[in-house]
Amino acid sequence: MVSRRKFYLFLFVFLLFLGIVVWAQKNFQPVQYNHKLHVEDAGLSCTDCHVNVETHERASIPNIAVCGDCHDDPETDNAEIKKVVSYVQEESRIPWQTVHRVRDYAYFSHRRHVTLGQLECETCHGNVSARELPFEKPYVEINMSWCIDCHEQRAVTTDCYACHR
C-alpha cells in the first residue's frame, strides 16, 4: 500500500512538473508580441523594428528604445501593451528570449544575407507578418545541411571558410 501511494505521489509530481514545463515553453516570452497587428494596423515592416538587419551581423531584437517610440502611454486596456509601457517607463530592457540562434562555430551575417544576398526575412523566419504570437521555436532548424541546400540553390559559395572562421 505504501509503495502504491509513493507511485501516485511520484506520478502526480511528475505530471505537475511536465505541465509547468509545457506551459513555460508556450509562454516564455515576457510580452505576447503580435507581429500581424504591427504589420497590418501600424503598417510596420521588419526593418522598422529590427533596425540593424540591413547593416549589421545581428538583426537586433527590438527593445525599449524602439518600442517606446509608439508605446509610452499607459492608458490602454491591452495587458501586453501595458507590459511594454511598464518596461519603457522603468527604463528596463524587455527580457526577450532568443529563439533563432546560429551555432557559435558558424559565422552568420544578416547584412550579408538580407542586403547583399537579397533574401527576404520569410526565407528563414517564415510568414512572420501573419504571426499573432511570438515564436516558440525557430521556423526552420538552422543547421549546416539547411544552409548548404540554400547556398547551392542560389549558387552561392559552399566553401567551409565562408561560414566557419
For residue 28, what are the contacts with CB-CB under 8 A and spacing of at least 6? 97, 136
Residue holding cell 503580435? 34
Over residues 76-112, the pLDDT tens digits come to 889 999 999 999 999 999 999 999 988 889 999 999 9
Exposure of 123 by Cβ count < 10 A (0-12 exposed, 13-18 middle, 19+ buried)? middle
The answer to whether the CB of 158 falls within 8 A of the CB of 148 is yes
Residue 8 in this model has a pLDDT that exceeds 80: no
User: CA nearest 82: which of 73, 92, 91, 69?
Assistant: 73
DSSP 130: G
**Alpha carbon of residue 146 to chain centroid:** 19
Report whether pLDDT(129) > 90: yes
CB-CB contact of 93 with 87 (8 Å): yes
- The grid coordinates listed for 78 are 491591452
For the residues 135-161, what does the mean pLDDT come to?
Answer: 93
Grid cell listed for 115: 542586403
Q: In this structure, what C-alpha cell is assigned to residue 109?
A: 551575417
What is the value of pTM for the model shown? 0.75
Average pLDDT over residues 139-144: 91
Nearest Cα neighbor of 81 from 36, 44, 33, 48 is 33
CA atoms of 100 and 59, how far apart (whole Å): 11
Residue 4: half-sphere exposure toward Cβ, Cα within 13 Å: 1
Lowest mean pLDDT, pick from 3-12, 92-101, 120-129, 143-152: 3-12
Q: How confident is the model at residue 27 (pLDDT cuts 50, 70, 90)?
A: low
